[in-house]
Amino acid sequence: MALLTCDNLSFGYEGKALIRPLSFSVNAGDYLCIVGENGSGKTTLMRTLLGLQPPIGGKVLLDDGLRRTEIGYLPQQTRVQRDFPASVREIVLSGCQGRLGKRPFYGEEEKRRADEAMEKLGVAPLARRCYRELSGGQQQRVLLARALCATEKLLLLDEPVAGLDPMATEEMYRLIEGLNKEGTTLIMISHDMHYALGHASHILQIGSDWFYGRKADYLRSAMGRNYLRGGREGR
Amino acid sequence: MDKLILYLQYPIARYALIVGVLIALCSSLFGVTLVLKRFSFIGDGLSHVAFGALAVASVLRLSNGMLFVLPVTVLCAVLLLRAGQNAKIKGDAAIAMLSVGALAIGYLLMNLFSTSSNLSGDVCSTLFGSYSILTLDKTDVWLCVVLSLLVVAAFILFYNRIFAVTFDEDFTRAVGLSAGAYNLMIAVIVAVIIVLAMNLVGSLLISALVIFPALSAMRLFKSFRAVTVCAAVLSVVCAAAGILISIVTETPVGSTVVAVDIAAFGLFCLIGKLKKA
Ligand SMILES: Nc1ncnc2c1ncn2[C@@H]1O[C@H](COP(=O)(O)OP(=O)(O)OP(=O)(O)O)[C@@H](O)[C@H]1O
Ligand SMILES: [Mg+2]
């Protein structure tokens, strides 16, 4: 069975669906890119997949072997309060919270994971710094490190490269791809069509209508061609 | 100074000091969470509820008020949290309604049914704390000690979870944990703290006891752990100093402790500025 399946899923706010019901499934090892215009509902879809808001109709099904605690998430914006005193390490370590089970404290295993994740994302030198004093790009990496702590199975990333400089973007993409090669299933929201078409295995476009399929099929579809043409003239 | 030594020879004074310090410790622990979450509002509302409940208890002439006030306040904490989750604006309005309502009804009840000859004195002491926590009776003292220890234990055991839900509730829920349950736990503990702190500083000054140490610590420290530890130490020191000063100068305990907290806050602000410069 697929890792995650949407069955006639509609989502939105206050009982009003944003788009017509959506059905697709993500298999282990897939790299799904969700594309669409601003305000089309990408973030809302992701929040619905994660169970942060209830679907208006239909279902989100998880594979039996996948526990909720094995899903990592990188939010588009965290509503972190401006004054929150927290060090980078504390935040990355909090990504392990799903692994605690009934234990009260993080053990060696979790600390090692956190250190590895920080190393991977190049934020290890910032470990003792205060999160709110970091630049936007650095904060983004810290949050990705946190997501990485949660799981290697399924990661949901909402615009992971927003606010990163070209070098860091490149690096972030390489990293994300590396994760996928190592077997992590990815669902990523991106506005970077060029990249999405270059590296994703599947594309989900949402808007007034939606399309889901393999990358090659998307390129041939009327919807995909349309969006790409529009995309070249700037969103 | 002699007076201080004289007073401290009474066991009851020493107990009072211990209780005061324990209460200050508990209230400072949840300060950061309260400052940063919407709970600061709930905390304020609950302290008014506790006032109302205490008024009812005194009208009913319950022998031990705390045993009545505690469950009522905890219940209100749970209700308020529920209301707050359903709709944000409605939740805030509910809190305002409940807290102001409890205040008014509490005062009204005390006025209507009070047998005491010194009504305004009674009201004043529930609002601003007793003139001295030396008036606590023995059950109160033990209840305070037990509850404070429970609060501290809960904080330590759930430290990592409390950090996680305070920092980013969505992430906690996204990785499949029940943020709601942790919020509920925090609300219940806050209710307990409020009832405890009412003994020391009275219901109007509770927020000060909860918030000032955390705010002071946040001037100097950048990590959650450092802020928590610093707030706890600071709160304990300020409470001890405040209680001792109030014995010597014969000022009301609650406001003296809060005044010391404010002075510490000023000091920490200054040090923070100097460090930056
Ligand atoms: N809390 C909310 N309540 C009601 N409507 C909302 C809420 N949040 C977002 N919306 C609306 O839902 C629609 C989809 O928003 P969403 O954030 O999912 O878009 P998006 O595709 O992620 O956009 P972007 O590319 O800018 O990130 C928007 O029209 C927005 O106005
Ligand atoms: Mg979005």
Contacts of B107 (CB under 8 A, 6+ apart): B55, B123
pLDDT band of residue B131 (cuts 50, 70, 90) is: low
Domains, chain B: 2-270 (1.10.3470.10)
**pLDDT for residue A226:** 81
pLDDT at A232 over 50: no
**How far apart are the CA of A135 and the nearest CA of chain B, in angstroms?**
16
| B111-126: average pLDDT | 71
Judged by CB atoms closer than 8 Å, whether chains meet at A71 and B226 is answered as: no
The string of pLDDT tens digits covering residues A14-60 is: 888 888 999 999 999 999 999 998 989 999 999 999 999 999 999 89
**pLDDT for residue A136:** 81
Round the average pLDDT of chain A to a whole number and report it: 87
Residue labelled with tokens 């889901």: A212
pLDDT band of residue B150 (cuts 50, 70, 90) is: very high
B225 touches chain A (CB under 8 A): yes
What is the rounded CA–CA span in Å between residue B95 and residue B89? 10
Residue A52 Cα, ligand 2 centroid: separation in angstroms? 14
Q: Which residue of A has its CA nearest to B171?
A: A73
Between residues 117 and 156 of chain B, which touch chain A (CB distance below 8 Å)?
A: 156
Which numbered atom of ligand 1 lies nearest the CA of A36?
21
End-to-end CA distance of chain A: 37
**pLDDT for residue A234:** 39
Q: Do the strands A22-26 and A4-10 form a parallel or antiparallel pair, or are they unpaired?
A: antiparallel
pLDDT band of residue A233 (cuts 50, 70, 90) is: very low
Round the average pLDDT of chain B to a whole number and report it: 83
pLDDT band of residue B130 (cuts 50, 70, 90) is: low
**pLDDT for residue A235:** 39
The answer to whether the CB of A44 is under 6 A from ligand 1 is yes
The string of pLDDT tens digits covering residues A85-107 is: 899 999 999 999 988 888 999 99
**pLDDT for residue A147:** 92
Residue nearest to atom 5 of ligand 1 (CA): A13
Listed in sequence order, the DSSP H helices in B114-178 are 119-128, 138-157, 159-167, 169-174
Q: What is the ipTM of this complex?
A: 0.87
Chain center to CA of B256 = 15
| A196-208: average pLDDT | 87
**Rg, chain A, Cα only:** 18
pLDDT band of residue B53 (cuts 50, 70, 90) is: confident
Residues of A with CB under 8 A from a CB of B: 47, 50-52, 67-73, 75, 78-81, 83-87, 89-91, 93-95, 97-98, 100, 104-106, 128-130, 133, 146, 150-151, 156
**pLDDT for residue B86:** 57
Greater model confidence, B4 or A6: A6
| B4-24: average pLDDT | 81
For residue A46, give both structure tokens. Answer: 């992701």
pLDDT at B145 over 80: yes
Q: Domain ranges in chain A?
A: 1-66+153-235, 79-152
CA distances from B161 to A75, A82, B34, B68 (A): 19, 20, 15, 30
The string of pLDDT tens digits covering residues B170-215 is: 899 988 888 888 888 988 898 898 888 887 777 778 888 888 999 9
| A108-127: average pLDDT | 91
**Residues β-bridged to residue A120:** none
Q: Which CATH class is domain A1-66+153-235?
A: alpha beta
The dihedral built from the CA positions of residue A138, A139, A144 and A148, taken in this order, carries a sign that is positive
The string of pLDDT tens digits covering residues A120-164 is: 888 999 999 999 888 888 888 899 899 999 888 899 999 988 878
Q: Which residue of A has its CA nearest to B167?
A: A80
Tallying the residues shown for chain A, one arrives at 235
pLDDT band of residue B269 (cuts 50, 70, 90) is: very high
The pLDDT > 90 percentage for chain A reads 43
What is the residue type of B138?
K
The dihedral built from the CA positions of residue A96, A98, A104 and A107, taken in this order, carries a sign that is negative
Contact at 8 Å (CB) between A143 and A151? no
Residue nearest to atom 18 of ligand 1 (CA): A41
Contact at 8 Å (CB) between A6 and A29? no
Contacts of B12 (CB under 8 A, 6+ apart): B134
Rama region for A20: left / alpha / beta (φ>0; ψ in -120 to 50; rest): beta
The string of pLDDT tens digits covering residues B78-97 is: 887 776 565 555 566 777 78
What is the rounded CA–CA span in Å between residue B45 and residue A175? 48
Judged by CB atoms closer than 8 Å, whether chains meet at B170 and A51 is answered as: no
Q: Least CB-CB distance to A51: which of B159, B173, B226?
A: B173
DSSP state of A16: E
Cα B40–B46–B51 angle (5° rounding)? 135
**pLDDT for residue B136:** 67
CA torsion, ordered B108, B111, B115, B117, to nearest 10 deg: 150
Q: What are φ and ψ of residue A109, in 5° steps?
A: -55, -50
What is the rounded CA–CA span in Å between residue B221 and residue B32? 12
